Structure 1
Amino acid sequence: MATIKPFKAVRPTRDKVSLVAARSYQSYTQEEREARLDYNPFSFLHIVNPGYKYHKEEVSGKERYSLVRNRYLEFKEDGIFVQDETPCFYIYRVVNREQRVFTGIVAAASTEDYKNNVIKRHEDTIEYREQIFKEYLKTVGFNAEPVLLTYPDSATIETILASYTDTRAEFEFTTTYRDTHYLWLVNDPADIKVIQDEFDRMGEIYIADGHHRSASSFLLGEDSKLENPAHTGKESYNSFMSYLIPESQLHISEFNRLIKDLNGLSKEQFLLKLDQVYRIENRGFELYRPSKKHHFSMYLDGEFYSLYLRKTHYEFTDSLSELDTHILYITILKPILGITDLRNDDRIDYGYDKHNVIEMKNRIDSGEFAVGFGLVPVNVDEMKRIADEGLTMPPKSTYIEPKLRSGVAIYEF
């Protein structure tokens, strides 16, 4: 049984939402950040980069957290942010520049469901990052970036959402990325109950993106329970903000791999080692992409290659062993190229999106990297099987959309 709850979101006023909404801080170049901070006083970036007000870019730790809290309160005091008076679900729709449509529900998901594996995960988290973000949440008192969860398609939920999305949205704005964002409020108690009952019938839902955010929210809830002698289980810290979309709408792209050197091997030695595990075909200058599972593309020394796994030399034992990112790691990256730590080794880098084959080629041609590998995207069923078996994917196995803007709906603890 999956439990989701409506909540009283803190939101920008209708006239300010397009100015407030921001991408994740790390996605901006320094020049982009500075332009927005210099010329847009309403940008959410002013909250997450609070030192900019004092021309002090490098503020960190608890000092930064306190300043984030102060900037947030200033936005509320100035009437840029206003809190809804009644708990709502929020229907959030993104139509991206490729006209792909994502429609889901912003709601409060249960930390107990996370603890009890009703909310299932497929990635490992790093403990120190969990602790850092937990302390951040505890100090600032809000979360502005929901965890992306996915659930089995439901005709009942779809019908309710459609009854709202056929009306004028509370928010509608288009970004410079040419994505259009919409928000509707679901505050009818009958509709809220139908949605909750439908999730209550689901045995499990899955984290698509936001493993560290959900883990940190769970840790915050556990700490808060211990610190609150009057704990009832209804407090806001028992939940975390999530964006729930049906599985059919989840869009997963691959992360390609780029390696800086051949681990001391010549091109010929490297190809000979690959030949033991893969059937190799030289594709020349063709911008080759793999078309099915267990096939890879490779760009090396100005030419593309197709790599076909020799299944007589590889054993499938569980869902992880069938995952292409794991196969690449087990057969090439670790034994041949000496990459053991996929998170921290500075010899490996990652790229995604439909233009990444060209980007990979350019970065190798420039001499920045020696070899690159292209993969077929992981699908939703693979992701679910990994989670169901209690396994974890290698880092950068999936780039998942949609990506929401920060500051459109905020959950307070």
Structure 2
Amino acid sequence: MATPDDVLMEPRRMRLTSLDTWRGLVIFLMVLDHVRDFFNRGALTSTPTEAGHTTLLLYLTRWVTHLCAPTFLFLAGVGIRLQYEKHGPTWNLSRFLAMRGLWLVFLDLVVISTLLSFGRVFFFIQVLYATGMSMLVLSALVWLRPRFVLVLGGAIVLLAPLAIRPLLHATGAPLLFRTFTVLPGPLPAGSGIVLYPFVPWLGVMCLGFGYGHIFRLPPPIRDRILAWTAASLLALFALLRGINGYGDLSPWKAGHTPLLNSESFMDVTKYPASPDYVLATLGISLLLFLGLERLRGPFIRILTTFGRTPLFTYITHFFVMHCLQIAVGLALGYPLRIFQSYIANASAAMFSGTVPEVERLGWGFPLWGTYIVWLLVVALVYPLSRWFEGVKQNRQDWWLRYL
């Protein structure tokens, strides 16, 4: 009779487990980024990757979390490709992608926006919206050849900045179209903000779909291809960034020290996802995968659990984090109102050019305190994710596919 270890050592299963672990790592880092937004002093009024106006540790803390969204979207594409590999394009696959895409958009508009802003209607449109809209488009693209989808994904990533130019001075309906597709911005009447216009992220998901079959190859061949791919992405990033023109909306500037030069060079634009940003983050993330799957131990088990319950963990961590912020804030004597609609009020203040009330009142911990809260949130969320992992393993209910 096979033991659990025997099952995990079967090559194909081991590769799929390593994808879960990879996804879990970026969830682990994602929690750090969101905890920093909610608990770090000055998080709402400063730019932690602005060279000359940050500390090295704060810069690295923010930059490493840049890896999260591109890896999520890339892995979503890989997962769709692995389903495609079983049966080819089918109406069931296409219908599932369309339904799941709509479900993710709904979750972002209703559930996540509520968890981020207790007590005020405010649409905080971010990665679930971008993922859902990309899945909707991919539900049609799965009928095309994967190689074509791969090329299309690369074209979208590299050419997305061109789509912004004719819409830069848009007003009315074209402005709203621009906000949801290519360039982030506020929604009318202070009703929300779009941080993840979906078109650049569609390109990343298409790359994952077109590339996903690589993860089915024997490990030596797969790893060699991944290493060459990572090196090529980083080389192209260095070339585009070195030209200092087209690849990013924020050109880098020479500083007085090598450190300032490096910080400015790597300060790539996430909102919207620029070609430089996607190339750098995916290249580094692929290298992390190559190192990650060689590790073992309890920490890897935690990451794998997060990676097997990504949507559940994503939703749960927002609830735990926001409730913890309110509890800690009240215990320290801060008024409840500044935490109830934390993101909504902060966004409104920043768009008006004022300092959010939560910052004026001195809320927030230094970076070391933020790291402690991060580990606390992980410790609180992990048992819930572990429980849900067991539910998914022991039950086959159709609705579990949507969580």
Q: TM bucket by the smaller chain?
A: under 0.3
Q: TM-score with structure 2 length normalisation?
A: 0.23
Question: Per residue, is there more helix in 1 or in 2?
Answer: 2
Structure in which a larger fraction of residues adopt strand: 1
Higher-Rg structure is 1
